[in-house]
Amino acid sequence: MARKAEKIKIIPLGGLSEIGRNMTAFEYKDEILILDCGLSFPEDDMLGIDMVIPDITYLIKNKDKIKGIVLTHGHEDHIGSLPYVLKKLNVPVYGTRLTLGLVEIKIKEHKLNNVHLQRVEPGDKIKLGEFEAEFIHTSHSIPDACAIAIHTPLGIIFHTGDFKIDYTPIDGQVMDLHRISELGKEGILVMLADSTNVERPGTTMSEKSVGATFDDIFRNATKERIIVATFASNVHRLQQVLDAAHKYDRKVVTSGRSMINVISVAQDLGILNVPEGLIIDINEMDKYDDNKIVILSTGSQGEPMAALSRMASSDHRKLDIRPGDLVVFSSSPIPGNEKSVTRVINQLFEKGAEVIYDRLAEVHVSGHACQEELKLIHTLAKPKYFIPVHGEYRHLRQHGQLAESLGMPKENVFIGQNGTVFEFGKDYGKTSGNVQSGRVLVDGLGVGDVGNIVLRDRRHLSEDGLIVVVVTISKDTGKTLAGPDIISRGFVYVRESEDLIGEARKVVRVALDGCEQQNIREWSTLKSAIRDSLKDFLYGKTKRRPMILPVIMEV
């Protein structure tokens, strides 16, 4: 009977039913293994927020159980929360070369000490208490990505990480399908798999196909400067740009902090192969003709502060866009970034550049598996239970349906939310309650100090602005000594609306007089009287509802 009680808990703390912020805890007896530690970018309604990290209250409570953090790859949505988490939980971190290379940049930025990073190679197995984490090479839009097989006393848990199946990867290292096949034969208890592209039929194109497009573009660009914007972390993409530059006898200038950082790290690690003298300093650029230059830049998502956006809006210190420049967006917009990207594209066209982007040519491929690739992984791994991960709710549902279409019983598919506890024994799987989870907002130095009330106020202020009403009253008599003064911001432009503000002042005075006549001295009542009278007056005049802040001073 003791055996029967044995169980594994799988607890997603981020990344389920939403994009980003991936983090999952695996718990067996009194041991916890953490897989990934990502951030997500703020939603539209999270005004002023810089990033979002997972709520790790549950982990902090169970601090002593944690054996380590295992990282699948180096994207922000898998490693971005690490500095914040390590401040609370100083546990060892395991990852491959580039993953740790990128982690180290973050650790330096956050000035963290005593961080225990341990580099692993694909194929390595790391003993973490009763867990054994096996790193399995995959393909993704960043090198050194891995799936993780977690060997436990109850069976194997297989997490695909983010992956695609690329039969012709740039580094020649095909995803280790053999090992996944072996594990499948051995028997996988639970699989967690990437759901990002589950809506897309067919297969994702090979990274190599982008190289063919680059070759075309470079061959035909006999006069122009070429500017390529892409994700810095897509090192194989960078390699292909460098290769094309080298082949067509162009020098490469790099722009954007993350681009420069990643190239340096990847070059040091031997992941990026840069021929001697190919990359030149930005200040050397003028020595070369336009058709001898490639600029490799950040900003492929239209981020306002990134290098390409600055060039497009004539706001870059050293680079400008000139008529005839050929700009390549080697990317596709992340959902939510569509308008920012098209804004930059339009600006570039207006400056006389030619712009090539994903709608016009094959300058980008996804890093995630489409339906046919997912079917292959399900077939090879043939897990008993399945938890779709890494997707919005609609993706998880559709990934569940895909598993069912391959013969998995509906009741073996588990779809949950962050904080859901999925419990598995040798012969069963179920959800069993929830742990605390959620989003922690990071704004400047503040971690978690901006909550719903602050966001609600920011939203209110952003829509209709603000009216501050200040009045000084006598402590003795209750009579108004100064004011009411009215200050508005973000409501109407005051110089053009002096009448409105003048009338508003009268409305407040009438309200205060009313209170005085009724001998009302209570601040809260006075404030309500001001707020109510003004709210109705302004709505009647403008159909707007600015935030009204009454301030009463007593002397």
Residues lying near its own copies in the complex (CB under 8 A) are found at 17, 43-44, 47-48, 199-200, 335-336, 338-339, 342, 345-346, 349-350, 355, 359-360, 392-394, 397, 443-446, 449-451, 453-455, 457-466, 468, 470, 472, 481-483, 485, 487, 489-493, 496-497, 541-544, 547, 549, 551, 553-555
> DSSP string spanning 263-313?
HHHHHHTTSS---TT-B--GGGGGGS-GGGEEEEES-TT--TTSHHHHHHT
Respond yes or no: is residue 194 known to be catalytic: yes
Q: Which of 75, 137, 364, 368 is labelled catalytic?
A: 368
What is the amino acid identity at position 17?
Answer: S
User: CB of residue 354 vs its own copies: minimum separation in angstroms?
Assistant: 9
| Min dist. Cβ of residue 97 to its own copies (A) | 32
- Work out how close the CB of 75 gets to its own copies at its nearest, in angstroms, rounded to a whole number: 20
Q: Which is nearer to its own copies, 146 or 217 (CB)?
A: 217
Of residues 58 and 357, the one with the C-beta less far from its own copies: 357
Whole-angstrom distance, CA of residue 14 vs CA of residue 487:
43
- Bridge partners for 264 per DSSP: none
Q: How far is the CB of 534 from its own copies (least distance, A)?
A: 15
**SS3 letters across 95-139:** ECHHHHHHHHHHHHHCCCCCCCEEECCCCCEEEECCEEEEEEECE
Distance of CA 250 to CAs 35, 116, 277, 294, Å? 42, 41, 11, 6
- Say how many CA atoms lie within 13 Å of 17 toward its Cβ: 13
* DSSP structure class, residue 239: H
Smallest Cα–Cα separation from 17: which of 440, 438, 447, 443?
438
Cβ distance to its own copies smaller for residue 4 or 489: 489
Contact 552, 537 (CB under 8 A): no
Q: How far apart are CA 417 and CA 436, in angstroms?
A: 11
Of the pair 38, 42, the CB lying nearest its own copies is at 42
Nearer to its own copies, 84 or 135 (CB): 84
Determine which helix (DSSP H) or strand (DSSP E) holds 455, and give its type and residue range. helix 452-464
Give whole-number Cα distances, 213 to 63, 207, 379, in Å.
Answer: 50, 11, 33
Distances in Å between the Cα of 190 and the Cα atoms of 130, 413, 424, 534 are 17, 10, 8, 61
Q: Which is nearer to its own copies, 103 or 345 (CB)?
A: 345
Dihedral angle, C-alpha 508, 514, 520, 523, nearest 10 °:
-10
Is residue 368 annotated as a catalytic residue, yes or no? yes
| Least distance (Å) between residue 470 CB and its own copies | 5
Comparing CB distances to its own copies, the nearer of 154 and 312 is 312
Question: Maximum distance among all alpha carbons in the chain?
Answer: 88
Cβ 530 vs Cβ 483: under 8 Å? no
Instruction: Give the nearer residue to its own copies in terms of CB position, either 63 or 359.
Output: 359
User: Least CB distance from residue 269 to its own copies, whole Å?
Assistant: 32
Closest CA to 353 of 416, 418, 308: 308
The candidate with the shortest Cα–Cα distance to 165, out of 193, 191, 204, is 204
- Name the active-site residue from 55, 144, 194, 443: 194
Give me the least distance between CB of 365 and its own copies, in Å please: 18
507-509-515-517 Cα dihedral, nearest 10 degrees:
-120
Cβ at position 398, least distance to its own copies in Å: 8
Select 449 or 513, whichever has its Cβ closest to its own copies.
449
Q: How far is the CB of 495 from its own copies (least distance, A)?
A: 9
Provide the 3-class DSSP secondary structure of residue 152. strand
3-class state of residue 340 by DSSP: helix
For the record, the structure tokens of 5 come out as 């009680």
Q: Could you give the residue numbers annotated as active site?
A: 194, 368
